[in-house]
A and B are shown apart, each in its own frame.
Chain A
Amino acid sequence: AQSVAQPEDQVNVAEGNPLTVKCTYSVSGNPYLFWYVQYPNRGLQFLLKYITGDNLVKGSYGFEAEFNKSQTSFHLKKPSALVSDSALYFCAVRENAGNMLTFGGGTRLMVKP
Chain B
Amino acid sequence: KAGVTQTPRYLIKTRGQQVTLSCSPISGHRSVSWYQQTPGQGLQFLFEYFSETQRNKGNFPGRFSGRQFSNSRSEMNVSTLELGDSALYLCASSLEGARGRNIQYFGAGTRLSVL
Contacts and interface: CB of A to CB of B under 8 A. Distances in A.
Interface of A: 30, 32, 34, 36, 41-46, 49, 51, 90, 94-96, 98-106
A99 B56 contact: yes
A30, A46, A51, A99, most chain B CB atoms within 10 A: A99
Nearest to A96: B100
B15 interface: no
B66 interface: no
B64 interface: no
A42 to B, nearest CB: 6
B106 A36 contact: yes
Contacts of B100: 30, 32, 51, 94-96
A90 B55 contact: no
A106 B35 CA distance: 15
A36 B90 CA distance: 13
Contacts of B6: 43
Interface residues of B, number: 27
A36 B107 CA distance: 13
B22 to A, nearest CB: 15
A46 B42 contact: no
Contacts of B4: 43
Nearest to B6: A43
Contacts of A105: 42
A46 B103 contact: yes
Contacts of A99: 31, 33, 48, 50, 55-56, 94, 99, 102
A45, A49, A100, A106, most chain B CB atoms within 10 A: A100
B104 interface: yes
A80 B18 CA distance: 47
B90 A43 contact: yes
Contacts of A44: 90, 92, 106
Contacts of B43: 90, 101, 103, 106
